[in-house]
Amino acid sequence: MDKERIDEIKRAGEAFSTSMITRGSILDFAINVENELTDIIAWCFYPTTKSWDVDIYNQLDENGIFLKATLLRQIDFNEKTKILKDVIKAKNLLPWNDNKTLINNIAKDLDHVRDFRNMLAHSPLDISKEALDILKYNKGAGIEDFLIIQYKKGRVVKQRIDQKRIQDELRIMMRVMYRLIELFALLKGDIEDAKVSEALSNLSTEEVNHVVKIIMLGKDKETTP
């Protein structure tokens, strides 16, 4: 059999493995970010006086849960981001001028998370010979990045998802998650916990790299060329 062809098939398999592990982890993170957003919106419509719990779902009463399980589940990510700003303004839940920077930053990050999630969810993997030849390969760790194919306005656009891109995207996701928790703490009137969440939103490169390593643990480290 053609050794070059066998090697190419092996590399394609590694690219599939890296893609599945990385995409699965990021999509799972994005799902939880959207869920956090949904819980806050539901709480804004039906605020409760329950004691503080970092899991916002535990702050919802029956009305909030019903709203989340019926109407909000049918609204897309983009509309939820707009609703968050509208409901805070309309119900005057926070002094707008004092908190608009935080809320606008959250909305900006949420838009980015949504766009990146959609790109990963709907773009097929590129396993052409040309793509496989440019992927980074580390002996003992296999392929560390992958290419995806997007179709935009009748054109093919290829995106390389490498370690730096993963780190950058995870940093944004973790930042907006903590910012959402900070916002909820402010809505609940817990200033001290809001300060803690604000500090956590400023993640160091080392902390993000640690999360990336956890994500990549599922990859077969013993893969050989």
Least confident of 7-21, 156-170, 205-219: 205-219
Domain boundaries, the chain: 3-216
pLDDT band of residue 27 (cuts 50, 70, 90) is very high
Single-letter code of the amino acid located at 92: N
Cα 134 to Cα 63, 145, 162: the distances in Å are: 53, 10, 11
pLDDT band of residue 224 (cuts 50, 70, 90) is very low
93-102: long-range contacts at Cβ-Cβ below 8 A with a sequence spacing of 24 or more?
93/44, 93/47, 93/187, 94/186, 94/187, 99/183, 99/186, 102/179, 102/182, 102/183, 102/186
Higher pLDDT, 218 or 5: 5
Q: What does the alpha-carbon distance between residue 215 and residue 225 come to, in Å, rounded to a whole number? A: 22
Over residues 141-154, the mean pLDDT reads 83
Helices (H), 91-128: 96-122
Q: What does the alpha-carbon distance between residue 223 and residue 201 come to, in Å, rounded to a whole number? A: 36
pLDDT at 139 over 60: no
pLDDT at 186: 93
In tens, the pLDDT along 39-51 reads 999 999 999 887 7
Q: What does the alpha-carbon distance between residue 202 and residue 181 come to, in Å, rounded to a whole number? A: 13
Instruction: State the residue for tokens 């993640």.
Output: 203
Name the pTM for this structure.
0.85
How much is the mean pLDDT over the chain?
86
> Tokens representing 93?
């839940």
pLDDT band of residue 122 (cuts 50, 70, 90) is very high
Q: What does the alpha-carbon distance between residue 78 and residue 55 come to, in Å, rounded to a whole number? A: 23
pLDDT at 225 over 90: no
Measured in degrees and rounded to the nearest 5, phi and psi for residue 54 equal -60, -25
Three-class secondary structure of residue 162 per DSSP: coil
The answer to whether residues 64 and 45 touch, using CB atoms and an 8 Å cutoff, is yes
- Please provide the distance, in angstroms rounded to a whole number, between the alpha carbons at the two ends of the chain: 16
Determine the distance from the C-alpha atom of residue 159 to the mean position of all C-alpha atoms in its chain, rounded to a whole number.
17
pLDDT at 138: 60
pLDDT at 223 over 60: no
pLDDT at 211 over 90: no
